[in-house]
């Protein structure tokens, strides 16, 4: 009996770990062959390549730096670009929260000493930082759906709590907000100067880091942040699927994907040896160390330039870090081949994409509310959306990543609307499943809204398996 209980406990623990590791194993997504036209993955470039700095072979340290997304001064961005006879009519923004403290502690070591209070004399800094703190401290409880109204509106612990947003995270989103405000409000006048609360749609998961990230972005974005005009809805699911979360086939894909990950890990003897060495340093069983997800903590050390943890038996070092990251890269290569994650993603991302096109269609019909929508979310939200759109060559969502859906109206043919998709400032519209062949078939410079609508309502299920044409059937299909 005792043995059996222990076995069940271990099973549960293994399942939990698999889930946690899934959310942290996607540090960069590598090209996946296109779903239907079978284009070779070799011919597809990864999104966000920078010909000046991109190293010729995958470099785990370079990838980790991109992931940290340390705020720099100049950022190139392609948001808000269209031929002059197009008018911007709606923008929807899906973000990952900014830089945060680790979610797990490495056993028997001191947690990294990072200060999560916001201070003007600390880097990185943003000119709106003090005004942000000042404004947040006067926050209004009526601006939030429960349970968000009980949460702190900005990070404030001298030793960060687990998962807390850092100053870097706040600055990343102040910067995102300011960049988008300059483009969408100053240049394109998306909101009138006397905008009303129902022109914004704001939604966040119930974590302080997502709520605070959303607030920082909005504070950077709006010229007049007025608490009376702000209302954040609470989203209980990281997939933003509320009301449509029940989908057994999606869970089956996820279980198979986790099993694939587990088997691949067992095959990597260098990885096992590395975990073994690290476990010796902290003097705990290897299983326990792996369970603490050391790469998450090590990334925090790395992004904040704090040396890796040590004990009297030695230190974690860059070689350990590189081995774990290289394994993640191998893992993604295999994941792309097996396509189980694509199945999970198509079903997991459908509800939020459905909500996105629904809002676009209402605007296209002439409605004027919810012209700007912000969803403040997690890596496990953005990854499936990217993959479902066909952007699996995009990198894993870095801190403060942003995915944007723009809707444009053709002034010359006002009934025609077009979409643009941007990931971290890069126009990826013509990499998506629904518009990758557009140039071959049409001379229009922009991707028609109908393409995205047809994809979300029907084609995404056909991509998954040709017998289902709607969400309900695809979620309840037998024998995956
Ligand atoms: C990282 O820390 C080291 C030692 O504390 C310091 O010499 C170096 O300049 C720091 N690097 C950055 C980018 O801040
Ligand atoms: C898709 O959106 C429509 C319109 O808002 C809604 O009625 C429907 O329930 C949604 N379906 C799914 C599966 O999210």
Ligand at shortest distance from the CA of 301: 1
The per-residue pLDDT for range 256-275, each reduced to its tens digit, is 999 999 999 999 999 999 99
Residue 97 annotated as catalytic:
yes
| Cis amide bond preceding 439, omega within 30 | no
Average pLDDT on 103-129 reads 96
Helix or strand (DSSP H, E) at 406: strand 402-410
358 lines ligand 2 (CB under 6 A): yes
CA of 243 to the centre of ligand 2 (A): 9
Dihedral over alpha carbons 292, 298, 304, 310 (to 10 degrees): 90
Is the pLDDT at 16 greater than 50? The verdict is no
Pairing mode of beta strands 402-410, 86-96:
antiparallel
473 lines ligand 2 (CB under 6 A): no
- Smallest Cα–Cα separation from 392: which of 429, 424, 431, 355? 431
CA separation (Å) from 286 to 33, 206, 269, 281, 378? 36, 33, 13, 10, 28
Determine contact, residues 387/253, Cβ cutoff 8 Å: no
240 lines ligand 2 (CB under 6 A): no
Cα(287)–Cα(455) distance, rounded to whole angstroms? 43
Q: Which atom of ligand 2 is nearest to the CA of 351?
A: 14
Backbone dihedral angles phi then psi of residue 269, each to the nearest 5 degrees: -70, -30
Number of neighbouring beta carbons within 10 Å of residue 73: 5
Q: Quote the pLDDT of residue 439.
A: 83
The per-residue pLDDT for range 51-76, each reduced to its tens digit, is 566 777 889 999 899 999 999 867 78
Determine contact, residues 342/392, Cβ cutoff 8 Å: yes
The per-residue pLDDT for range 191-248, each reduced to its tens digit, is 999 999 999 999 999 999 999 999 999 999 999 999 999 999 999 999 999 899 999 9
pLDDT band for position 46 (50/70/90)?
Answer: low
Is the pLDDT at 1 greater than 60? The verdict is no
Is the pLDDT at 3 greater than 90? The verdict is no
Cα(379)–Cα(94) distance, rounded to whole angstroms? 11
Determine contact, residues 138/93, Cβ cutoff 8 Å: no
Q: Quote the pLDDT of residue 464.
A: 87
Query: If you average pLDDT over every residue of the chain, what do you get?
Result: 89
Is the pLDDT at 430 greater than 80? The verdict is yes
Best residue among 201, 237, 240, 244 to mutate for probing ligand 2's pocket (most ligand atoms within 8 Å of CB) is 244
471 lines ligand 2 (CB under 6 A): yes
| Selected residue with higher pLDDT from 29 and 442 | 442
Is the pLDDT at 349 greater than 70? The verdict is yes
Q: Quote the pLDDT of residue 49.
A: 53
348 lines ligand 2 (CB under 6 A): no
Q: Quote the pLDDT of residue 50.
A: 61
CA of 305 to the centre of ligand 1 (A): 6
Share above pLDDT 90 across residues of the chain, in percent, rounded to a whole number: 78
Average pLDDT on 419-431 reads 97
112 lines ligand 2 (CB under 6 A): no
Share above pLDDT 70 across residues of the chain, in percent, rounded to a whole number: 88
CA of 302 to the centre of ligand 1 (A): 11
Residues whose CB falls within 8 Å of the CB of residue 88, separated by 6 or more in sequence, listed in order: 80, 82, 184, 188, 190, 406, 407, 408
Residue 379 annotated as catalytic:
yes
Determine contact, residues 301/308, Cβ cutoff 8 Å: yes
- Smallest Cα–Cα separation from 46: which of 38, 61, 58, 37? 58
CA of 410 to the centre of ligand 2 (A): 27
CA of 240 to the centre of ligand 2 (A): 12
Determine contact, residues 171/124, Cβ cutoff 8 Å: yes
Q: Quote the pLDDT of residue 296.
A: 94
Minimal-distance CA residue to ligand 2 atom 9: 244
Cα(19)–Cα(13) distance, rounded to whole angstroms? 10
The whole-model pTM stands at 0.89
Minimal-distance CA residue to ligand 2 atom 12: 351
Q: Quote the pLDDT of residue 480.
A: 66
Among the listed residues 99, 296, 379, 459, the single catalytic one is 379
Ligand at shortest distance from the CA of 304: 1
CA of 354 to the centre of ligand 2 (A): 6
The per-residue pLDDT for range 176-188, each reduced to its tens digit, is 999 999 999 999 9
Best residue among 242, 358, 388, 452 to mutate for probing ligand 2's pocket (most ligand atoms within 8 Å of CB) is 358
Minimal-distance CA residue to ligand 2 atom 10: 354
Q: Quote the pLDDT of residue 51.
A: 55
Average pLDDT on 400-409 reads 98
Minimal-distance CA residue to ligand 2 atom 1: 354
| Selected residue with higher pLDDT from 463 and 250 | 250
Q: Quote the pLDDT of residue 335.
A: 87
CA of 166 to the centre of ligand 1 (A): 18
Among the listed residues 97, 301, 320, 350, the single catalytic one is 97
| Selected residue with higher pLDDT from 337 and 250 | 250
pLDDT band for position 440 (50/70/90)?
Answer: confident
């Amino acid at each position: 009996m005792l043995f059996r209980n222990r076995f069940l406990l271990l099973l549960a623990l293994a399942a939990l770990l698999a889930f946690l590791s899934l959310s942290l194993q996607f540090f960069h997504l590598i090209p996946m062959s296109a779903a239907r036209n079978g284009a070779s993955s070799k011919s597809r470039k990864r999104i966000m390549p920078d010909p000046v700095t991109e190293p010729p072979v995958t470099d785990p340290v370079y990838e980790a730096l991109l992931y940290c997304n340390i705020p720099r001064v100049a950022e190139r961005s392609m948001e808000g670009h269209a031929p002059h006879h197009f008018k911007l009519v709606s923008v929807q923004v899906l973000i990952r929260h900014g830089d945060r403290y680790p979610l797990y502690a490495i056993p028997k070591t001191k947690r990294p000493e990072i200060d999560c209070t916001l201070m003007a004399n600390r880097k990185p800094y943003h000119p709106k930082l003090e005004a942000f703190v000042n404004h947040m401290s006067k926050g209004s409880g009526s601006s939030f759906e429960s349970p968000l109204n009980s949460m702190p509106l900005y990070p404030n612990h001298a030793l960060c709590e687990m998962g807390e947003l850092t100053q870097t995270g706040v600055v990343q989103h102040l910067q995102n907000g300011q960049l988008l405000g300059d483009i969408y409000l100053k240049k394109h006048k998306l909101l009138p100067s006397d905008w009303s609360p129902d022109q914004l749609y704001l939604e966040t998961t119930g974590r302080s880091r997502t709520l605070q990230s959303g607030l920082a972005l909005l504070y950077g974005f709006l010229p007049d942040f007025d608490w009376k005009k702000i209302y954040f809805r609470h989203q209980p699911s990281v997939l933003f699927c509320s009301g449509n979360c029940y989908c057994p086939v999606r869970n089956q894909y996820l279980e198979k994907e986790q099993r694939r990950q587990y088997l691949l890990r067992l095959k990597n003897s260098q990885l096992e040896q590395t975990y073994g060495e690290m476990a010796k340093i902290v003097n705990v069983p290897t299983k326990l160390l792996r369970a603490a997800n050391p790469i998450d903590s090590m990334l925090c050390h790395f992004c904040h330039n704090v040396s890796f943890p040590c004990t009297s038996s030695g230190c974690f070092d860059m070689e350990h870090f590189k081995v774990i990251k290289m394994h993640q890269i191998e893992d993604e290569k295999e994941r792309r081949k097996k396509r189980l994650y694509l199945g999970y993603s198509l079903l997991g991302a459908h509800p939020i994409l459905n909500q996105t096109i629904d809002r676009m269609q209402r605007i296209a019909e002439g409605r004027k509310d919810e012209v700007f929508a912000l969803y403040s979310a997690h890596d496990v939200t953005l990854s499936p959306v990217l993959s479902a759109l066909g952007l699996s060559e995009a990198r894993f969502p870095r801190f403060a990543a942003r995915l944007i859906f723009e809707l444009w109206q053709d002034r010359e043919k006002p009934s025609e609307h077009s979409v643009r998709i941007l990931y971290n400032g890069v126009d990826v519209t013509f990499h998506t499943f629904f518009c990758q062949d557009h140039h071959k078939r049409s001379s229009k410079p922009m991707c028609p809204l109908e393409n995205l609508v047809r994809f979300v309502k029907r084609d995404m299920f056909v991509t998954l398996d040709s017998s289902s044409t709607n969400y309900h059937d695809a979620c309840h299909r037998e024998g995956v």
